Structure 1
Amino acid sequence: MRRALELAATGPAGGLNPQVGCVLLGPDGSLLAEGVHRGAGSPHAEADALSRVPPGAAVGATAVVTLEPCDHTGRTGPCSTALIDAGVARVVFAQPDPNPLAAGGAARLRAAGVRVDAGVLADEAEALNERWSASLRLGRPWVTAKWAASLDGRIAAADGTSRWITGAEARADAHRRRAAHGAILVGTGTALADDPALTARDGERLLPHQPIPVVLGLRDLAPGAALHDHPRPVLRVPSRDPRAAVAAVADAGASSVFVEGGPTVVSAFLAAGLVDEVLVYLAPTLLGGDRLATGDIGVPTIAAQRRLALREVHRLGDDLLVVARPEGAPGSGGLHTSPDPGTPSTRPTEGD
């Protein structure tokens, strides 16, 4: 199962389908094949693994899968039927399928006489697909809001310059977090002022997965904007309403969106109650002035403050990454501290 999880993590993140891996073992425990789901419309992990063995070679085999085999016909057929037809004798899976349209594979397999064992490393599998699972529950894409700031909460100096408040380790972490989302969003103000690329990079190298670049607002992009060179087409949302942006992201096939700003856009998402996770990179510096990370988010009194539950704190070079979620939200408890990056983030006005 750990190998299946490793395989799953190589699949694209942030889309309408989960990351899934499969290991196919022979009756004697030998490795027959491995499979991974590579995105919407491609074979599911089980079908991918089965396609790598000759006909009849999977009779009596065990399929170890990170997600309950689907029992749904969409762009591909149900994995439950494919496993039964191949003669697989046992299926071990980690996470039950939270999608009511696809669930039921375990029941179909058992009814066909296949031994089914569920829940192996379920917590790790659920963590891998947390945003995808949450998007099913929420009925909309998962929203992460991110900014980088000085200790006094400023995202830029008085003249508007902001490169760089945080250090190289924090920025690298941010790019990895971009790549873990289906879309990345800024407002037209940030797009025009900072000319961001909105790509996910490791140094100068583009990471394998690139989120859909989304620009929210009424103004047009400059003809020579860096966004025109993004490897994926820019999704323009001609509105000021964050709900319109979330709907457009869902229609574009993403189950999560990374909101980088600037402050007007981040504040609009916060005020609308659309933020599921907050990532704040804090640099040990002071800037003063009025370039604050957020503006009005609908908190008139201290009694109305938006309480967050700390989930993680990481030290990244000289900077800190604070990960928090609205109190009472799933996964909002259990503070974890670490000197390691763990995973990624970005900032609204650091320009790219």
Structure 2
Amino acid sequence: NAINLVKNKSLLKKATLYVTLEPCSHFGKTPPCSNLIIEHQIPNVIIGCQDDNEKVAGKGISKLKASGCNVIVGVLENECKQHHKRFFTFHNKKRPFIILKWAESADGFIAPLSKNDQKPVWISNKYSRQLVHKWRSEEQAILVGYNTVLEDNPSLTTRYCVGKNPIRIVLDKNEALSKDLNVFDIKAETILIKETAAVAICNKLQELNINSIIIEGGAKTIQLFIDAGLWDEARIFVGKAIFNEGINAPKFKGQMIFEEKIIDDTLRVYVNN
């Protein structure tokens, strides 16, 4: 698109092109980017990080250099790899980039033992919930387990922010959920998955070409992925409520990389290292 937007193409012969990821050298959904660069004789290309996908893996860089292009690789490399973390995870690990999200009470419970209504018991405040809806708009899909749908009747949309609704993935091995529940409305696509093991679920998500997903519950579903080591980030809100008893929050080990106060909530972000 950047090349196509240049009206006077003769200027490209004096240009420097900056890209976060190595230009591809193979035919996929579109022709190779490296061919377009060579065609327009762009003399300088600055690349953030190499694409280690086996279809590329330095071939684009070699092709550009062979054409006489001056290529510099590794500028802000770590930042570029972070930017493309979903892409790299999908192609290298053969699964989506997986974000775990939950809210827990100040005494470590994710939900009370019982409730009277078929709706969530909110632990986090409205500002935290709005942030979660922004996160949903940034990922391709959202996943919850059977019990979460049955007990909370969630919509799993981005109704508190402007953004595209994610694809709703629901674990329902027997397809027993009522189609009158909110997850089956027309606001977003919903896909039922019958698999029950984390690896099998990830394999199915890859078949569906889902490259990123946020898993929002419940505790059993989140723990399933933690125990299998199949997660990349955990985003946890700790609210001020005290339950005294309830369903325990998931147990995990990870490296905390971020902490922030959101009014009376505390948000902590961990990575699986």
TM over 0.5: yes
More moved, 84-93 vs 227-236: 227-236
Pairing 1:178–2:136 present: yes
Matched ranges for 1:31-180 at <5 A: 48-54=1-7, 56-57=9-10, 58-103=12-57, 104-160=59-115, 162-180=120-138
Amino acid at match of 1:256: S
Cα distance in 1 for partners of 2:235, 2:242 equals: 19
The 3 A distance-change label for structure 1 pair 149 and 230 is farther
Q: Tell me whether 1:192 sits opposite 2:145 in the alignment.
A: no
Q: CA deviation at 1:54?
A: 4.1
How far 1:217 moved relative to its partner? 2.2
1:166-315 equivalences under 5 Å are 166-201=124-159, 203=160, 205-207=161-163, 209-218=164-173, 219-294=175-250, 306-315=252-261
CA-atom RMSD in angstroms = 2.1
CA–CA distance in 2 between the matches of 1:275 and 1:167?
25
Query: How far apart are residue 223 of structure 1 and its match?
Result: 2.1
Provide the C-alpha distance between the structure 2 equivalents of 1:174 and 1:200, rounded to a whole number of angstroms. Answer: 8
CA-CA distance at 1:118 after TM superposition: 2.0
Q: Could you say what secondary structure the match of 2:134 adopts?
A: helix
Paired residue type of 1:129: H
Query: Normalising to structure 2: TM-score of the pair?
Result: 0.89
Normalised TM-score (structure 1): 0.70
Whole-angstrom distance in 1 between the partners of 2:244 and 2:45: 59
Contact 1:166 1:283 in 2 (8 A): yes
Deviations 1:204-259 (A, max 9, x none): x441x332210012243322222223544211101322222211211121222211
Mean CA deviation greater in 233-242 or 131-140: 131-140
Secondary structure at the aligned position of 1:50 is classed as coil
Distance across 2 between alignment mates of 1:235 and 1:206: 23
Cα pair 1:197 1:230 within 8 Å, conserved = no
| Superposition deviation, residue 130 in structure 1 | 1.8
- d(CA) in 2 for partners of 1:62, 1:230: 46
Shift of 1:101: 1.0
Write the distance in 1 (CA, Å) between the matches of 2:176 and 2:199: 20
Q: Deviations over 1:270-312 (max 9, x none)?
A: 2222222222110022112232223xx7xxxxxxxx5322221
| Structure 2 counterpart SS, 1:59 | helix
- C-alpha distance in 2, partners of 1:230/1:286? 36
Alignment-mate amino acid for residue 323 of structure 1: V
CA contact 1:199–1:206 (8 Å) conserved in 2: no
Comparing 215-224 and 186-195, the one that deviates more:
215-224
SS across alignment from 1:179: helix
Residue 324 (str. 1) matches residue 270 (str. 2): yes
In the TM superposition, what whole-angstrom CA distance separates every residue of 1:113-151 from its partner, at most 9, and x where no partner exists?
A: 111122223232222112322333323222222110101
User: Which consecutive aligned stretches of 4+ in structure 1 deviate over 6 angstroms post-superposition?
Assistant: none
Secondary structure of the 1:163 match is coil
C-alpha deviation, 1:325, in angstroms: 2.8
Q: CA 1:248/1:291 → structure 2, altered by over 3 Å: closer, same or farther?
A: same
Q: CA deviation at 1:167?
A: 0.6
Q: Is the 8 A contact 1:61 1:89 kept in 2?
A: yes
Secondary structure of 2:55's counterpart equals coil
**Which blocks of at least 5 consecutive residues in structure 2 are unaligned?**
none
Native 8 Å contact 1:309 1:325 kept in 2: yes
